[in-house]
Amino acid sequence: ETGVTQSPTHLIKTRGQQVTLRCSSQSGHNTVSWYQQALGQGPQFIFQYYREEENGRGNFPPRFSGLQFPNYSSELNVNALELDDSALYLCASRVFGSYEQYFGPGTRLTVT
């Protein structure tokens, strides 16, 4: 166990709906990154949060947004869901500046 938790474990949504995924970082970790992993692919970087602000973003549209809270936990919000958003969503936490990041178990999102 890495100490990083995610909720929910699984989620089924309909196209056009909105979804919020949650991540609790490992104790002492102030940086959280979110990744999207399609079936059979490697994780794709969505964005990173540090000090409650977005600190780096991958090639994802604005309907993917996030938040980081004072306790370093984080949310990933996706609006106007599309079928291609179906994937495993991973969050990873670390201490800012460290290259050692720890992944949560992921949330499996299915969009129908």
Which residues would be at the binding site for another protein (CB under 8 A)? 2, 4, 33, 35, 40-45, 48, 55-58, 88, 90, 92, 99-106, 108
Shortest Cβ 94–another protein spacing (Å): 10
Quick one: 64 or 102, whose CB is closer to another protein?
A: 102
Return d(Cα 57, Cα 63) in angstroms, integer: 13
Shortest Cβ 56–another protein spacing (Å): 3
Shortest Cβ 8–another protein spacing (Å): 14
Shortest Cβ 16–another protein spacing (Å): 26
Quick one: 45 or 64, whose CB is closer to another protein?
A: 45
- Check the CA dihedral 76-60-53-87 and report its sign: positive
Quick one: 72 or 101, whose CB is closer to another protein?
A: 101
CB-neighbour burial class of residue 73 (10 A; exposed 0-12, middle 13-18, buried 19+): middle
Quick one: 72 or 93, whose CB is closer to another protein?
A: 93
